[in-house]
Amino acid sequence: MYHVIESRFRQTLRELIRRRYKADITVATERPPRLEMGELASPVCFELAKRLKRAPPQIAQEIAGAIGKIEGIARLEVAGGGYLNAFLERPAFFSAVLARAGKEAVAPAPDASKNIVEHTNINPNKAAHIGHLRNAALGDSFVRLLRHTGRRVEVQNYIDNTGVQVADVVVGFVHMERKTAADVRALAAQARFDYSCWDLYARVTQFYGEDPAREGLRGETLKDIEEGRGATAEIAEVVSTAIVRCHLRTMERLGVEYDLLPRESEILRLKFWDAAFEQLKQRGAIRLATSGKNAGCWVMEMSSAAGAQDPPGPDQDPDEDVKIIVRSNGTVTYVGKDIAYQLWKFGLLGRDFRYRRFHTHASGHTVWVSCADGGESGAPAFGKADQVYNVIDSRQSYLQNVVVAGVRALGFTAQADRSMHFSYEVVALTPRCAAEMGYELSAEDAQRSFVEVSGRKGLGVKADDLLDRLEAAARGEVDQRHQQAPEAEREAIAHAIAIGALRFFLLKYTRSTVIAFDFKDALSFEGETGPYCQYAVVRARNIFRKLHEQQPEFVLDTRGVLPRQEKIAQLLASPAGNDFWELALLAGSLGTHVDAAVGAQEPAFIAKYAFQLAQAFNNFYHKHHILSEEDAERKTFLLLLTSAIERQLVRALQLLGIEAPEKM
């Protein structure tokens, strides 16, 4: 609601300035620091003053006089040496908020642009850990935000089922454990197979460390897997598929769903790389190095591909600033395969996967997986996106740049511009937490503010362990408060709280912040947390539940039968009604925050908003006892306000993937 008025204000100002002063200015707007200065302001006259060489207040005065009526804005005022401050029509805003609060996302138009969001992407060789949870939480919330704004979105979770990490675990099963394919198949059917692989993976790292010659096993194994040969490939397939199922189950616990699992095995088998290689060669995007250290490799020039102005000088080593795409032995690097995959996402490769059903989420939604031949009918039209977001941690930004440079070098400039690396910093552990996990810290590590998670070393907090701990902690709190509630209900509440705490914790930090994980912070249910926000919703609902118990016939009519418009205007009028007005304003600002979050690709903005709204409501809840309100019109007004806040808060939490329980 607020953003509608804001953009109307901007546009009107811009047009007036263009007409009257023949200047084309992007109009900035902001929230004034205090409510007495209005709800919306623009400092545009300061900018205009420079161009016109006149005093800002004078221009502001002129504009305020000439602008005329703007829908939703009651009046304009000039203040603070040249600001244009707008005062909104409070009752109109309030009724608009009542009418629209909590509305479902707009359904995407059939011709709406299509977005692909790739996230999660966990190597299928071990259990998911806390770092993977950040990736999935960010990706999933961003998907929710995009859908909320009416975009078509396809969620892909790329499975590197033929990579070294899977090969390492296969080495463990074959060469350390001496297992056959049938043995591994039996193990994979057991519970927590991802946990046993987690341990095995760490032991394989030690196994290599004890005798460097053993690393040769990795290469052989990898080759067998890539070429789909014998028991090795079978074991890799069994392991990776079983672990992908574990990952889906883990992510389902926090409400994360996918549309498609594209796998590296199909990228190989369906020769995606060959198609990309042809294009790259034809367009001269890569060249065969004939001399120097890269002799025999196909390389991509990074400086020219990235569109750098200055070509490499004569004194510059031609081997520098290139990226090897095809090794001298003819095998393609990971980046090469990624370029092919990126081209496919945009429908530029000229090839497609086959698809079959892989899993059905609890919601009934089907997850499809790529396959090389056969395939099932009924698959949606995957790929062919207009916009691609790759949710990958910041350590891979160089490689993401190479991929985009490859797309650009093929002449697909528009697609290169629409290839977004949704980058974020990793989750590390505080030294205290690492020690708590049984990890021996070096003196150096103990001094640091955080310690890197390492799957290879087996150092990390496993996602399911964390979820279990959160649910147990939440359950303890629920049991204290609701001894009479049935078991299943208590469990459901504890689950909702655990997810609320976890997802809020992972999403409240902006992407560029390294999260130093600590159980104490993550298990907190107080202060700036998910449960705090959920609790505000529960409080609001309790008012209505109690009201219904007292007066079963009472129906809150949101169409404004009660109270009278004059009464609403009076209750919202400054200064006495400022508290109510401030709440209505905040409740009506969800759209503004969603726009900002999508624009900045920053779900943290929504976490911040949800907390602010919850906090404002808690404050209001404490100050105004609604059910004991004697003035019937005022009571209804307070109920209407509460209802609007509750719906907007539920909506904001839903964008974060957090559900509010009925009780807490």
Which one of residues 160, 224, 266, 659 is an interface residue with RNA (CB under 7 A)?
Answer: 160
Q: Among the residues of 424-529, which ranges form H helices?
A: 431-436, 443-447, 463-481, 487-507, 519-522
Alpha carbon distance 463, 470 (integer Å): 11
The 278-317 contact track toward RNA, x by CB under 7 A, reads: ---------------xxxxx--------------------
**Please, which of residues 424-463 interact with RNA by CB under 7 A?**
425, 448-449, 452
Helix H, strand E, coil C: the string for 85-117 is: EEEECHHHHHHHHHHHCCCCCCCCCCCCCEEEE
3-state secondary structure of 26: coil
**Please, which of residues 351-370 interact with RNA by CB under 7 A?**
none
Q: Are 435 and 518 in contact (CB under 8 A)?
A: no
What tokens appear for 287 in the block?
Answer: 């060249």
Residue 28 binds RNA (CB under 7 A): yes
Which one of residues 60, 409, 604, 652 is an interface residue with RNA (CB under 7 A)?
Answer: 604
Residue 249 binds RNA (CB under 7 A): no
The 459-498 contact track toward RNA, x by CB under 7 A, reads: ---------------x--xx--xx----------x---x-
Alpha carbon distance 340, 451 (integer Å): 35
Q: Is the Cβ of residue 181 or residue 626 nearer to RNA in the bound state?
A: 626
Which one of residues 12, 17, 85, 130 is an interface residue with RNA (CB under 7 A)?
Answer: 85
Which one of residues 129, 147, 148, 508 is an interface residue with RNA (CB under 7 A)?
Answer: 508
Residue 140 binds RNA (CB under 7 A): no
| Exposure on the CB side of residue 564, measured as CA atoms within 13 A | 4
Q: Is the Cβ of residue 5 or residue 187 nearer to RNA in the bound state?
A: 5
Q: Are 539 and 621 in contact (CB under 8 A)?
A: yes
DSSP code, position 648: H
Residue 192 binds RNA (CB under 7 A): no
Closest CA to 527 of 413, 618, 427: 618
Residue 37 binds RNA (CB under 7 A): yes
**Please, which of residues 105-124 interact with RNA by CB under 7 A?**
123
Which one of residues 23, 35, 64, 79 is an interface residue with RNA (CB under 7 A)?
Answer: 79
Which one of residues 12, 47, 217, 586 is an interface residue with RNA (CB under 7 A)?
Answer: 47
Residue 582 binds RNA (CB under 7 A): no
What tokens appear for 583 in the block?
Answer: 């709440």
As measured in angstroms, the least distance from the Cβ of 188 to RNA is 22
Residue 573 binds RNA (CB under 7 A): no
Alpha carbon distance 5, 10 (integer Å): 9
Report the alpha-carbon angle 556-557-560, nearest 5.
130
Residue 398 binds RNA (CB under 7 A): yes
Closest CA to 1 of 658, 656, 597, 648: 648
Q: Residue 497 is which amino acid? A: I
Rg (CA), the chain: 29
As measured in angstroms, the least distance from the Cβ of 531 to RNA is 4
Q: Is the Cβ of residue 292 or residue 411 nearer to RNA in the bound state?
A: 292
Residue 521 binds RNA (CB under 7 A): yes
Q: How many residues in the shown chain lie near RNA by CB under 7 A?
A: 95
What is the residue whose two structure tokens read 């009201």? 547
As measured in angstroms, the least distance from the Cβ of 512 to RNA is 4
Q: Is the Cβ of residue 257 or residue 338 nearer to RNA in the bound state?
A: 338
